[in-house]
Amino acid sequence: MTTKQYSLAREMFSEWQIDTEAAIAALSDISISMHCWQGDDVVGFEKNSGTSGGGIQATGNHPGRARTPDELRADLESAFSLIPGSHRLNLHAMYFDTDESPDRDAIEYHHFEPWVDWAREQKIGLDFNPTFFAHAKADDNLTLSHPDKGIRDFWIEHGKRSREIAARFGAELQSPCINNIWVPDGYKDIPIDRMAARERLEDSLNEMLTPLHDKSHMLDAVESKLFGIGVEACTVGSHEFYFGYAIRKGTLLCLDMGHFHPTENIADKLSACALSLDEILLHVSRPMRWDSDHVILLNDDIQAMANELVSANLLGRTHIGLDFFDATISRTAAWVIGTRNMQKALLRALLMPLDKLRQAENALDFTTRLTVTEELKDLPYGSVWNEFCARSDVPAGRELIASLDNYQRGVSVRG
Ligand code: RNT
Ligand code: ZN
């Protein structure tokens, strides 16, 4: 049932020639890939993997961390039930669900099968990531570019198996699985031979990506980075490295919002990269002073990304994934807040009077462009969002807060 509030809002937007119904319909079609690792502080379910390492770090000790696949799935179900629309789960290889203890170079599809059964039941797609960190063979922060061939081969095998598992996910669930490759490789202090390290990474990737998989089942993505803790001087897989690689090899490029200089405008990169790539993967994140992976807010950076996706017509070939982890707050709330913020930003972007703004820009009428974008900020976006939530049978506002609090009370007894 449409509320009075929404009818009024629809009227106000239509005065600007903005169709709220079209925006709601477009938003319902956008699936966001929610990352499993927010649920347990990037720990995973291996019996002997250490802390995350690789220059990434979840901080905090809020009660309620998921310790088992069942706990993680319960938390995910709760989160998904509070997020409007239909979405995906992004799994990391260290989150297998098995009584066996396969090392990274021995993982197989059956170790992950319970996730697929669950995804089928939930009617969601799965994405995947090989895990190149939190492992004794990654302690030097070198994996695919390690000078030791034995170590490189170990990780190449892990990567190949991950791709096979991802392809099977896609086939089973009839939805292409994005397999995103991020390696922590880099040097704390100034290396002598950056070229050799990059050549080794290139060769390892080539070997890892050689087996062909049906693109309707699995798509490879590569994720660049600027620096991490302990790899301040050089990251082997830098932006230039992977941008070139993705173009030459036809993979997706993953742009993580925390993987650039803090003053760089990541939204600006979308159209530039998209001219040379078929598809892009995003890791939407919020870096604070460094790649701190804070929960995303409805802030200017996220809004700029959403605006670009809409105005550059990139929604059809961009996969929106999230990448943040905060252990100081309810982990379920973190997922819900972050995912809903991404959706809210997309809704606002879909409610832009694009024709009018383009016309002004092309006529060099930058005054109109500015006054319109600023006046738009006073329109009742909240009423359209509330309507979207109501139609999706998902709470908003105080009711949402009560649901999140209630769930957190239940999980906070976990040891
Ligand atoms: C690390 C990368 C990477 C990870 C996940 C866990 O800086 O952003 O995407 O966060 O794979
Ligand atoms: Zn990332």
CATH number at residue 334: 3.20.20.150
Q: Is residue 273 part of a domain?
A: yes
Catalytic residue, candidates 75, 127, 185, 256: 256
Specify whether 291 is catalytic. Answer: yes
Residue located nearest, by CA, to atom 7 of ligand 1? 56
What is the per-residue pLDDT for 50? 59
Question: Are the C-beta atoms of residues 133 and 54 closer than 8 Å to each other?
Answer: yes
Alpha-carbon distance 160 to 217, whole Å? Answer: 15
Q: Mind listing the pLDDT tens digit for each residue in 138-156? A: 999 999 999 999 999 999 9
From the list 330, 319, 374, the residue with the least C-alpha distance to 352 is 374
Specify whether 323 is catalytic. Answer: yes
Q: Is residue 362 part of a domain?
A: no
Q: For residue 70, how far is its CA from the centre of ligand 2 (angstroms)?
A: 25
Q: Is residue 387 part of a domain?
A: no
Alpha-carbon distance 383 to 103, whole Å? Answer: 50
Give the chain's domain count: 1
Q: Is residue 143 part of a domain?
A: yes
Q: Is residue 9 part of a domain?
A: no
Q: For residue 111, how far is its CA from the centre of ligand 2 (angstroms)?
A: 24
Q: Is residue 220 part of a domain?
A: yes
Q: Mind listing the pLDDT tens digit for each residue in 232-267? A: 999 999 999 999 999 999 999 999 999 999 999 999
Q: Is residue 84 part of a domain?
A: yes
Q: Is residue 307 part of a domain?
A: yes
Task: Report the predicted TM-score, pTM, of the whole model to 2 decimal places.
Answer: 0.97
Alpha-carbon distance 315 to 312, whole Å? Answer: 8
Specify whether 259 is catalytic. Answer: yes
Domain extent for 146: 31-350
Residue located nearest, by CA, to atom 5 of ligand 1? 323
Of ligand 1's listed atoms, the one at least distance from the Cα of 42 is 6
pLDDT band at 281 (very low <50, low <70, confident <90, very high): very high
Specify whether 283 is catalytic. Answer: yes
- Other CB atoms within 10 Å distance of the CB of residue 365: 13
Residue located nearest, by CA, to atom 10 of ligand 1? 323
Q: For residue 293, how far is its CA from the centre of ligand 2 (angstroms)?
A: 9
